[in-house]
Amino acid sequence: MAALQNLGFVFVAGLITALATGLGALPFVVVDDFSDRWNVALWGIASGIMVAASLFGLVNEGLAYAASGFPALLVGGLLTGVVLVEVSDRVLDAVDIGGGDSSQPLEDGGHDHDNSDGPHDHEAAGHDHDDQAHDHDHVIDPEAFAEGDLKKLVLILGILTVHSFPEGVAVGVSFAQLGLDGGLSILGLSVPLLAVFMTIAISIHNIPEGTAIAIPMRAMGLSSPRMIGAAVFSSLPQPIGAVIAFAFVRWAEAFLPFGFGFAAGAMIYLVLTEFIPEAVETGVDLPRHGYDALLTGIGAGVLLMIPLLYV
């Protein structure tokens, strides 16, 4: 019974990160535009929290569980996490949900959000995967949601699973010590502080992604419930990945250093190759290209993680 309770708790945590994606679409219920500066700051906060959580939390936990000597499992996990993210990017590069028609799917994580008449051409450049590795953050086809195309939606969900799985894994692994002493008491369970921060970090990261998904749907005139539903749909693989990762590290405790390393490697690589480039591209038309908002967000994210140093 306790095992099922733990699995249910982790699933809910992963579901919270998925629902947070829907928050990104909420502004379009009442307003037409959403501040790029705010999006850049959110990317920065999520990046700061994830890097700090990975270095001060996941890696430290992995080192603590590793046997004396060279932490081979931890290093192996770090490299595997990087490889999985890179492979998922290449898989997304090879897939064209839109079938090459004039209705381009949102394959670039929302780079169509800029409707201004500025001189930049990053929307077109965003579809060149040789130039931008992060261009396939979400393969969401607005027409699939407008028409209720079940076959295409299932295909999209399968592809998004490849992309979202590392984030779900990070959440699941961070809950490895769920129910043990030393955590925060939530609903009668001792929850690791690392798990709380990781859930918050993934949720924050998902908000601007939800905004990016909603933008082309708003342009097509889709209803607010469909925009929000599409945003949440894009992150549904995360609670599944969280449960799988949690079950694995609890079942094979000897592989905990690998699990912590895997989550840390995937998160840091995602931040360096997707989150920060996404923020930079989002802020390309802002004063000072939005670097002040990005750096402020990163600093705030790191400061939020300082309590982990005292756990």
CB 149 within 8 Å of CB 140: no
Provide the 3-class DSSP secondary structure of residue 5: helix
What is residue 118's predicted lDDT score, i.e. its pLDDT?
A: 40
Q: How many CA atoms lie within 13 A of 311 on its CB side?
A: 24
Q: Is 113 helix (H, G, I), strand (E, B) or coil?
A: helix
Q: Decide: helix, strand or coil at residue 26.
A: coil
Q: What would the pLDDT profile of 21-67 be if each residue is shown by its tens digit? A: 888 888 777 665 567 788 788 888 888 888 888 888 788 888 877 66
Who has greater pLDDT, 109 or 44? 44
Selection from 280-284, 288-292, 294-298, 302-306 with the highest mean pLDDT:
294-298
pLDDT score for 13: 92
**Measured distance CA(270)–CA(263) in Å, rounded:** 10
* Three-class DSSP category at 110: coil
- The bridge status of strand 189-191 relative to strand 184-186 is antiparallel
Q: What is the 3-state secondary structure (H, E, C) of 39-103?
A: HHHHHHHHHHHHHHHHHHHHHHHHHHHCCCCCCHHHHHHHHHHHHHHHHHHHHHHCCCCCCCCCC
**Helical packing angle, 193-219 and 36-52, nearest 10°:** 150
The residue ranking higher by pLDDT, 202 or 95, is: 202
Q: Regarding predicted confidence, which is higher, 164 or 96?
A: 164
In 3D space, the residue among 11, 72, 57, 135 whose CA is nearest the CA of residue 311 turns out to be: 57
Q: Is 265 helix (H, G, I), strand (E, B) or coil?
A: helix
Give 231-274 pLDDT, tens digit per residue. 888 888 889 889 998 988 888 777 888 888 888 898 899 889 88
Distance in angstroms (rounded) separating the CA atoms of residues 140 and 104: 9
Stretch 204-216: mean pLDDT: 78
The beta-strand segments (E) located in the chain are 184-186, 189-191
Highest mean pLDDT pick, 7-11, 137-141, 168-172: 7-11
Region 153-181 average pLDDT: 77
- What's the pLDDT band for 123 if we cut at 50, 70, 90? very low
Q: What are the sequence ranges of the domains in the chain?
A: 2-310
* CB contact at 8 A, 297 and 201: no
Average pLDDT of 109-137? 40
Q: Under a CB-based contact definition with an 8 Å cutoff, are residues 267 and 256 in contact? A: no
The proportion of the chain whose per-residue pLDDT surpasses 70, expressed as a percent, equals 73
Strand partners, 191: 184
pLDDT tens digits, one per residue of 84-104? 888 877 877 776 555 444 344
